[in-house]
Amino acid sequence: MNLRRFVDRSGKDQDLAEEIESHLAHASDANMARGLEPEESRRRANIRFGNARTTRERVWRYRSLPWIEDLWRDLRFARRALAKTPGFTVVAILLIAVAIGVNTAVFSVTDAVLLKPLTYPDPQALVELRNTSAQGSFPGANIPKFALWHAQTAIFQQVAAYDFGGAGMNITGGDHPQQVQGIHVSADYFAMFGAPVIAGRTFTSAEDSPHGGNVAVLSYGLWKNRYGANPHIVGSTIQLDGQPYLVVGVIGRGFVTDTPADLWVPYQFDLNSKDMAHFFTAAARLKPGVTVPQANSQLKLAADQFRRLYGADSLPPQGGFGVVSLQEASIGDMRTPLYVLLGAVGFVLLIACANVANLLLARAAARKREFATRAALGAGRGQIIRQLLIESLTLSLSGGLIGLVLGFAGVRLLLSINPGNIPRIGEDGAGVTLDPTILLFTLGISVLTGILFGLIPAISASRPNLAAALNENGSRSGMGIRSGKLRAVLVVGEMALTVVLVIGAGLLIRTFLNLQSVDPGFTMHNVLSMTMSVSGDRFQTTAPVADVIREGSDRLRAIPGVLDVAVSNCMPMGGGFGMGFDVVGRPKGNDPFTGGAGFYSTSWSYFSTLKIPLLNGRTFTKQDDAAAPGVVVINQAMARQYWPKGDPLKDKILIGPGVGPAFAEGPRQVIGIVGDTRDAGPNQPPFPMMFIPLAQMPDLETALNSRVAPLYWFIRSGPNPRTLVNPITNALRDASGGLPVAHIRTMEEIEARNIARQRFNMLLLTVFGSAGLLMAAIGIYGVMSYSVEQRTQELGVRMALGAQASNLRNMVIRQGMLLTLIGVAIGIGGAFWLTHFLASFLFGVKPLDLVAFIATPLLLSAIALISVWSPALRATRVDPMTALRIE
């Protein structure tokens, strides 16, 4: 297209006016030359030329873009038309806005967690190293494995080790000691994850070797918050656990790792170590061109080599090594919940679409006469369709705009009720942003819905029977068969979708209630927990740790209000360590006489503090220390599983046989059996557990323990323990020689956090279900009131012919409820199939739960009944005379 013609329209018009003037002058010159009078000459020239203004208008139009001007006119018209029916407009815009807002919010979170690749450069090449076995694969590494993996240079570009949980570290040497998340990493860690170094450097391989010196790399957050972004921090020394550490570098902001970290220190592995204890995670970056299957087959050979080096028993019989994509490993089981979430959102969107389409259909039907008039005045079918499309696009774009704002708010809301265990949303959800993709997605949805909503009524409105519409029927004729049926179908669909949503919500609500009522096996009331990091050199043997525990327990008990105090190396309901054991005297390697169990080290008062009932024998006393014979307490699940007939109290067990020097110790006497606790979470059955006194741990095990986990303190009090936080932390600091505590939470808070995901799911589906219910109610109300309005004449005639008000009311109710029941029936059918996808989220309730499947249809029918009630009443109030005269 030639763009020149659209430029400088007024200037060119002025030019043309002068040109025409010049033409007329020449024409009248010519006439004068033929001998005419000047006035006559001019008059004839004018006549001959015709209307100069018409010419100018023709050129003007030629220089314009008619469709843009038509669009502008249609837009203004649409705004006027929508403003004339503010109720409709507001409801429609709100419906679209809510649907799109919800969609955007959930999509943003999903995008950050599920769709967006890891934030590291070239994330496809990152893999987690796994131990494979017949039962599946699990992460975890020891030094010999790491050394072997590190040597696989044919497949790996880098291999790095890092702490998974981390014991925490104490920054000391100031007025305020602070427990921070200090992560041990091997030297290649930063290069492998592509960490941006903003100051200094990362560890050299010399620094990551035994006796490499004390060096640390700081995170952006720690550098900023604790050191005020001091530009001279690199090269200075900080105190970690009482030891001076040289700061060699600072990592830039936005480096989000799956194990969040405030600072990093090198592992300094002795790669010749034969220590088989697993205490870290390893990941690798594949060499360019190497695939996961290739890496796996290479690692199969490596596993054979491992057995040759360290003996046939160094790996389980069918065990080996393998890799999985790090993305997959870190997202884990969030995939299904998010898909369920997306599905629910899709349902809400569909319901909203159906509803708005319904409203638009009703509106278009009511405006039949307007369209007929316009058609009679010469509007083409295309023009009417365009007009309606523009109206609905105006609606959907306004809705989309508001929806976007709601989406922003929704993301914040989702993050604020986020259970805290959604991976990779970054600090304060910084990883979740509304990015251009989502913007386009939202815009796409709003435009698509606009076209979809607009097209159906537009097409049906564009072929009115002109004469019929204009003459007798007017706007109050029965709704056209086509649009009437369509609207009924839409309402039925809405009902069906709502039933599915509400049944899903019902199942999740029941799950949540069930989870809340699960007895965890120990008391949470008025129990405070906190962590103390004992990672320094001071705590490499058992005795000083035991001293801190004894001293701390005594001081805490002296605080008025404190009833009991205990320490453990695991958090109940927080997961812990697992360990194999042999029952002394039984043949080895033969189930059920040998096996594995959760492995806790606790102080003597652990069971009394958490009120875990003693079922048989005795629990620990203060006297079960390093000097006393080795003892172990087991839980009921362990007794049942491994002593189905015999008496465990008569047996000794050997814990961690062959695991490595850290766990080398003699057999322990089973002294007691305690009640089960649900440590794997309220929705998991109790698993076998064994407890040993912290004071009886071998020194090397304590050293390992101090490196990988903090000590957990539990304080049960009479009054609300939150009121005792200050005396407790002071007492612990005094007792430990200045160690700070962190993560101060009550057990009830921890439990709430544990079922937070279920709460999150329940909340979301409840919101979706309620939104669906509300919209379905609006939908059926809209259809029925519209139908009553359309049939005013018919109802009037019926009344005039003697129909009772109750007959009319029941007729309307019957029709409304018929639609509802059809929808509900379809919905139940759909739910039968769809709730199976929820099975993995449910606890104590089956996917085909009778309560949900009976209560939901009843609830929905009740709401539908209320919704059709008022239109039905309106039907009885029709005044026959008015109705007949209305047109």
Partner 1 sequence: MNKPPDAGEILQGTLDMLILRMLVLGPAHGHTIAEAIERTSENALEVEQGSLYPALHRLEDRGWVSSYWGVSENNRKAKYYELTKRGRKELAAAAGRWQRMTRAIGLILGESLSKQREGA
Question: Which residues of this chain interact with partner 1, rule CB under 8 A?
Answer: 2, 4-5, 12, 15-16, 18-20, 22-23, 25-27, 29-30, 48-51, 54-55, 58-59, 62
Looking at residue 148, its amino acid is L
Considering only CA atoms, which of 370, 472, 466 is closest in space to residue 884? 472
Nearer to partner 1, 55 or 214 (CB): 55
How far apart are the C-alpha atoms of 816 and 870, rounded to whole Å? 11
Give the H/E segment covering residue 148.
Answer: helix 143-150
Nearer to partner 1, 46 or 541 (CB): 46
In the complex with partner 1, which residue's Cβ is closer, 9 or 300? 9
In angstroms, what is the minimal distance from the CB of 195 to partner 1? 59
Tell me whether residue 18 or residue 647 sits nearer to partner 1 (CB atom).
Answer: 18
What is the spatial distance between Cα 278 and Cα 259, in angstroms, rounded to a whole number?
17
The H or E element containing residue 751 is helix 747-754
Please, what is the minimum distance in Å from the beta carbon of residue 50 to partner 1? 5
> How far apart, in whole angstroms, are the C-alpha atoms of residue 477 and residue 457?
16
In whole angstroms, the minimum distance from the beta carbon of 69 to partner 1 comes to 18
Tokens of 722: 């939150």
Q: Minimum CB separation from partner 1 for residue 14, in Å?
A: 12
- Indicate the residue among 27 and 509 with the shorter CB distance to partner 1: 27
Residue 17 Cβ vs partner 1, minimum distance, rounded to whole Å: 10
To the nearest whole angstrom, how small is the minimum distance from the Cβ of residue 62 to partner 1?
A: 6
Whole-number minimum distance, CB 1 to partner 1, in Å?
A: 10
Dist CA 610 CA 750 (whole Å):
14
Please name which of 878, 884, 876 lies closest in space to residue 807, comparing C-alpha atoms.
Answer: 876
Nearest-approach distance from CB 25 to partner 1, in angstroms: 5
Closest among 275, 267, 131 to 208, alpha carbons compared: 267
Which residues are 250's β-sheet partners? Answer: 199, 218
Nearer to partner 1, 60 or 227 (CB): 60
Taking the C-alpha atoms of residue 605 and residue 622, their distance in angstroms, rounded to an integer, is: 8
* CB-nearer residue toward partner 1: 4 or 84: 4
- CB closer to partner 1, 48 vs 885: 48
DSSP-derived 3-state class of residue 8: coil
- Minimal distance, residue 57 CB to partner 1, in Å: 10
Residue 416 Cβ vs partner 1, minimum distance, rounded to whole Å: 60
Dig out the tokens for 840 from the structure. 């993995």
819's CB contacts (< 8 A; 6+ apart) are 488, 491, 492, 495, 780, 783
Using alpha carbons, select from 454, 451, 446 the residue that is nearest to residue 398. Answer: 446
What type of residue sits at position 820? T
Distance CA 174, CA 169 (A): 14
Axis crossing angle, helix 335-366 with helix 368-376, rounded to the nearest 10:
60
Contact 660, 533 (CB under 8 A): no
Between 16 and 811, whose beta carbon lies closer to partner 1? 16
Q: Which amino acid is at 81?
A: A
- Least distance (Å) between residue 31 CB and partner 1: 9
Measured CA to CA, the distance from residue 386 to residue 116 in angstroms comes to: 38
Q: Of 54 and 318, which has the nearer Cβ to partner 1?
A: 54
Q: Are 689 and 597 in contact (CB under 8 A)?
A: yes
Length of the chain: 887
Helices 381-416 and 436-461 pack at an angle, to 10 degrees, of 140
Nearer to partner 1, 34 or 650 (CB): 34
- Choice between 31 and 358, CB closer to partner 1: 31
Q: Closer to partner 1 at the Cβ: 6 or 833? A: 6
| Contact between residue 121 and residue 194 where contact means Cβ atoms under 8 Å apart | yes
Q: How far is the CB of 59 from partner 1 (least distance, A)?
A: 5
CA distances from 883 to 484, 791, 798, 872 (A): 21, 9, 11, 16
In terms of phi and psi (left: phi > 0; alpha: psi -120 to 50; beta: otherwise), the region of 611 is: left
For the purposes of burial, counting CB atoms within 10 Å of the CB of 482, is it exposed (0-12), middle (13-18) or buried (19 or more)?
A: middle
Q: Shortest Cβ distance from residue 42 to partner 1 (Å)?
A: 14
Q: Which is nearest to 267 in space by CA: 178, 160, 145?
A: 160
Cβ-based nearer residue to partner 1, 21 or 304: 21
CA distance 690 to 5: 88
Smallest CA-to-CA distance from 838 within 105, 99, 331, 339 is with 339
CA distances from 493 to 354, 596, 862 (A): 8, 53, 18
For helices 86-110 and 335-366, the axis angle rounded to 10 degrees is 160
Could you tell me the smallest distance in angstroms from the CB atom of residue 35 to partner 1? 12
Helix axes 52-62, 9-33, angle to 10 degrees: 150
- Rank residues 15 and 435 by Cβ distance to partner 1 and give the closer one: 15
As measured in angstroms, the least distance from the Cβ of 29 to partner 1 is 5
